[in-house]
Amino acid sequence: MHVEFLGTGAGLPSKNRNVTSIMLHLEQKRNALWMFDCGEATQHQILHTSIKPRKIEKIFITHLHGDHIFGLPGLLSSRSFQGGVEPVTIYGPPGIKAYLETSLTLSRTKLSYPIKIVELSEGVIFEDQQFIISAQKLQHGIECFGFLIEEKDSPGPLLVNKLKEIGIEPGPIYQEFKVNETVDLPNGHTVKSKDYIGVPKPGKRIAVIGDTRAHQAIIPFVQGVDLLIHEATFAADQEKLAHEYYHSTTSQAAAIAREANVKQLILTHISSRFQNEDIELLKKESQQLFHNTTIAYDFYTATID
Amino acid sequence: MHVEFLGTGAGLPSKNRNVTSIMLHLEQKRNALWMFDCGEATQHQILHTSIKPRKIEKIFITHLHGDHIFGLPGLLSSRSFQGGVEPVTIYGPPGIKAYLETSLTLSRTKLSYPIKIVELSEGVIFEDQQFIISAQKLQHGIECFGFLIEEKDSPGPLLVNKLKEIGIEPGPIYQEFKVNETVDLPNGHTVKSKDYIGVPKPGKRIAVIGDTRAHQAIIPFVQGVDLLIHEATFAADQEKLAHEYYHSTTSQAAAIAREANVKQLILTHISSRFQNEDIELLKKESQQLFHNTTIAYDFYTATID
Ligand SMILES: [Zn+2]
Ligand SMILES: [Zn+2]
């Protein structure tokens, strides 16, 4: 799977960075896309990608600031225009329902598909056979959430050579090893399935942290994730401003990545004050604390495999 | 003055045409900009122009369909970020107030300037010494308005040569001819000011017609305007579709321009179905009925002088 950054700016759009949106591509795993935040003109950004809006299955909204939600009514409306029929579930802080219902009702937008709106509280917000998703509150002045997307482990492969050693050739019986705890062999013996199944493949774990002050309480939440996406609205030397405006600096985000022992850190929500050379500086100052750091840019894509 | 088309598409954005917004530039006349409709990403379009959002004084919303309003909360918010302090007045159909208040309140958008929201009914909606603006209802399924912007006539110039003929040389007395009906001359005579003032310069008249079925009732409303901006979502041979979806065809718009004896017609709200060669066709079929027709495109600018 991979994540695609559709907007990596802070507060308001600039020519280089649109306001926030991130897409998690799960086409291979479940023929679906999961979106995180939907700033204004996210649907316009999508026009420059291969993304098919009808494949968007879930939309997670970290908080209700305009640069994270003002693209949502338009995106939902265009998905309908383009003939989307599959339902969409939208998770967001309390208020997201009133915002969407008012926008869609007053604009007389009739969607061609059902939407379900889930107003968030902390804890597990979704679980199925493949994934478990949790939400945790951040510190942003307004109610704001971070999301942890955990893919469940895949069962290990059948150890075909080991089965052949005891005389079991490929056939319908192999399926029994996958679904039953024990298997009765044709020779009358009974064996334990797990002795013939390899090590499970661990699921990937991704954390998408919304706007926030540097927040120690998320360290256990994001512990060891394969990818941590964190905001960095300010540079290392702007801690006071960051605190005042409920945002983080590059170094603060990197310190959390290090503390939580994550595998990879991507910083986003980058102010348009920072231009080319500044971006190199932002990168360096975060890499001093956590080496595997990238500063996202619009349409940047990272693979997690 | 001139109009700049920020978005000329219909329904949803495409790579070539954004959704609707039109800017009337009045910088020379009153150091102000007047906007008509504000589809999503209008503020993004503005980034590619010389427009200064803090100069936007009035915003006229024709109707509440998403492709005409979903850019409004973001535009107002960014105008604030950019330090706008002058008030903005927003005119729109009933519902515009609830839409804006819900969007701005839930997103905790605190504007740095006052806004005034005027929910429209037909008739004169604004008048000052320079302009008079009227609204008239259209036929679009949802309540939708057309706007007539009438610049008042400018007083004619003082006829200096004629004044010199009667021995009145330039001086403070010239001001009296501009403000008083009669002027007492130094020689004891009294003359009528109007005999020494040239023909008034007629003000320009512009009509911006929102989404609508071809609507005969607007003919008297737009009679003789210098510029008629009309939608043309459909081609000449799609009258049935146009009627069904409450839109107009090219020919229907051109027929109204001809009937109303306007000076210039610009068609906008062009479906993304129409590409380069089609646009030429749209233009030809409307020019058959009204020669001075242009099909707008994004960033197209027309001068009215
Ligand atoms: Zn925020
Ligand atoms: Zn409409």
Q: How much is the pLDDT for B100? A: 98
Cβ atoms of B138 and B122 within 8 Å: the answer is no
Q: How much is the pLDDT for A135? A: 98
Q: How much is the pLDDT for A187? A: 87
**CA A195 to centroid of ligand 1, rounded, Å:** 51
Q: Which residues contact residue A177 at a Cβ distance below 8 angstroms, ignoring those fewer than 6 apart?
A: A158, A163, A183, A193, A196, A197
Catalytic residue among A67, A128, A237, A298: A67
**CA B229 to centroid of ligand 2, rounded, Å:** 15
- The answer on pLDDT for A84 being more than 90 is no
User: What CATH number should be reported for the domain whose range is B2-154+201-303?
Assistant: 3.60.15.10
For residue A141, the distance in angstroms to the closest alpha carbon of chain B comes to 10
Nearest CA in chain B to A78: B12
For residue A276, name the pLDDT band (cuts at 50, 70, 90). confident
Q: Do residue B107 and residue A69 have CB atoms under 8 angstroms apart?
A: yes
What 3-state class would DSSP assign to A76? helix
ipTM for the complex shown = 0.91
For chains A and B, CB pairs below 8 A equal 105
Q: What is the pLDDT of residues B72-100, one digit of tens each?
A: 999 999 999 988 899 999 999 999 999 99
Q: Do residue B13 and residue A102 have CB atoms under 8 angstroms apart?
A: no
Sketch the domain layout of chain B as residue ranges.
2-154+201-303, 160-196
Binding residue positions of B: 63, 65, 67-68, 140, 211, 269
| Token pair of B304 as six digits | 């009215």
Average pLDDT over residues A150-162: 93
Mean pLDDT for chain A?
A: 96
Cβ atoms of A68 and A96 within 8 Å: the answer is no
- The answer on pLDDT for A305 being more than 90 is no
> Residue ranges of chain B with pLDDT lower than 70?
none
For residue A61, the distance in angstroms to the closest alpha carbon of chain B comes to 12
Q: Do residue B102 and residue A98 have CB atoms under 8 angstroms apart?
A: yes
- Which residues of chain A neighbour B108 with C-beta distances below 8 Å? 64-65, 142
Q: How much is the pLDDT for B84? A: 86
Q: Do residue A74 and residue B66 have CB atoms under 8 angstroms apart?
A: yes
DSSP symbol at A249: B
Nearest CA in chain B to A108: B65
Q: Do residue A47 and residue B15 have CB atoms under 8 angstroms apart?
A: yes
**CA A74 to centroid of ligand 2, rounded, Å:** 14
Ligand nearest to the CA of B210: 2
Binding residue positions of B for Zn(2+): 63, 65, 67-68, 140, 211, 269
- B43, B71, B81: residue with CB nearest A11: B81
- Give CA torsion, residues B73, B76, B78, B84, to 10 deg: -170
Average pLDDT over residues A43-67: 97
Catalytic residue among B37, B67, B195, B237: B67
- Which residues of chain B neighbour A44 with C-beta distances below 8 Å? 13, 18, 40-41, 44
Residue A67 appears among annotated catalytic residues: yes
Q: Which residues contact residue A86 at a Cβ distance below 8 angstroms, ignoring those fewer than 6 apart?
A: A54, A55, A57, A113
- The answer on pLDDT for A30 being more than 90 is yes
For residue B110, the distance in angstroms to the closest alpha carbon of chain A comes to 11
Q: How much is the pLDDT for B305? A: 80
| Nearest-angstrom CA–CA distance, B59 and B42 | 12
Q: Do residue B13 and residue A44 have CB atoms under 8 angstroms apart?
A: yes
Cβ atoms of A112 and A80 within 8 Å: the answer is yes
Ligand nearest to the CA of B61: 2
Own/partner pairs for A270-278, CB < 8 Å, 24+ apart? A270/A8, A270/A9, A270/A10, A270/A17, A270/A232, A270/A233, A270/A295, A270/A296, A271/A9, A271/A10, A271/A11, A271/A233, A271/A234, A272/A9, A272/A10, A272/A12, A272/A14, A272/A16, A272/A17, A274/A235, A278/A235
**Which position has the token pair 């309540």?**
B143
Q: Which of A68, A103, A104, A140 to mutate to test the interface with B (most CBs of B within 10 A)?
A: A103
**CA B265 to centroid of ligand 2, rounded, Å:** 20
Burial of A278 (0-12, 13-18, 19+ CB in 10 A): middle
Q: How much is the pLDDT for A178? A: 87
- The answer on pLDDT for A287 being more than 90 is yes
| Nearest-angstrom CA–CA distance, B34 and A220 | 52
For residue A25, the distance in angstroms to the closest alpha carbon of chain B comes to 23
Q: How much is the pLDDT for A231? A: 98
| Token pair of B163 as six digits | 């004044």
| Nearest-angstrom CA–CA distance, A99 and B102 | 6
